[in-house]
Structures are given as structure tokens and as C-alpha cells.
Amino acid sequence: MASADGIRRGLFSSVELVQSCLDRISKTDHQIGAWAFLDPDLALGQARTLDERRSRGLAVGPLHGVPVGIKDIFDTADMPTAYGSPIYSRRRPGSDCTAVSRLREAGAVIMGKTVTTEFAFMAPAQTQNPHRAGHTPGGSSSGSAAAVAAQHVPLAVGSQSNGSVIRPASF
């Protein structure tokens, strides 16, 4: 992956990469609506910690410093998980699900939560296709797909059930 390789080779730091992603999100997400939760200070704090570890020669994982969006059905210890539903809008799980745990172990910066349809099942979310205004990315992983397509993050986690990933990937 180019982002991880650039960090490993010292072309840029994790903080610089995360800040670049945050700048793109700030400029375009008001039109796209890919993000359900984003805390720039939290993302930059993770990046600073990872840059410090790297500067001390500590082990780095294959995704060291790479920002990753997480679909809002995956639990994260430090962010809300609402399942795309207003009834869970204040839910804070307090622990990471296995997928997020593994991403952190690999050195990823958990950037924030991407929009999903309610309970990853209902009609398409309000997220817009970043390359075709007025069109949906489709599927419950639409926020994750739009975040990658808009270059908000190099990677995002989605889930596949009833077209949740394949639909946004094809739109």
C-alpha cells in the first residue's frame, strides 16, 4: 500500500497523512456525507503516538500510520457506535470489535465512523457518490465506499450482506 510505504520510507509522517485526509474531509464531506463520527483530535493523537513509536525504533505494523474509516456497525472503544440508528446515537461500546482490534495491532489510525444505513439493512443512506452528484453509492457500506472514492482515507471497512459492499463498489 502506497500510504504505508510512504510512511516507512520517511516521505511523510502519519500526522501529515492524517492531516491531509482531514483537510480533504473538511473540504468535501459537506457534499458527500460519508462520515457519521469524526474527531480530528483523536485521529491526530493516534497518528502522533504512532510517529513517536516509529521514531524510537519500536515495531511497526503493515498499516503503520495509515488512516482507516470504520463502518458505523463495528464497535470502537473510543468512538460511538450507533448502527446508523438514532436510538443508539449515544452508544459508546467501550471496547473494540475484533476487526478494529486487528487494525490497531497492524498500526492503523482509526479515523472515524462512516455512514451506514440503519442497522446496515434499510434503504440507502443519504451519502452521495463523490463522482456523480445526486447519486447514491448504494448499500449499507456507502459511507465507507464514498470515503475511499473521495480520497478521505486510503482504506475503509465495510460489511457484506445483501449487497452492502458490492453495490457501492460497482456504483
Looking at 140, 141, 142, 144, which residue is catalytic? 140
Of 2, 63, 112, 136, the C-alpha closest to 145 is 136
Of 32, 34, 36, the C-alpha closest to 131 is 32
Q: Is 3 a catalytic residue?
A: no
Quote the CA–CA distance of 72 and 83 in Å, as a whole number: 5
Cα dihedral 154, 103, 15, 144 sign: positive
Of 140, 79, 159, the C-alpha closest to 112 is 79
Looking at 13, 14, 142, 164, which residue is catalytic? 164
Q: Where are the alpha helices (DSSP H) in 36-97?
A: 40-55
Q: By three-state DSSP, how is residue 50 classified?
A: helix
Looking at 71, 141, 142, 144, which residue is catalytic? 71
Tell me if 37 sits within 8 A of 71, measured CB to CB.
Answer: no
Q: Is 142 a catalytic residue?
A: no
Report residue 45 CA to chain centroid gap.
Answer: 15
Q: Which residues are catalytic?
A: 71, 140, 164
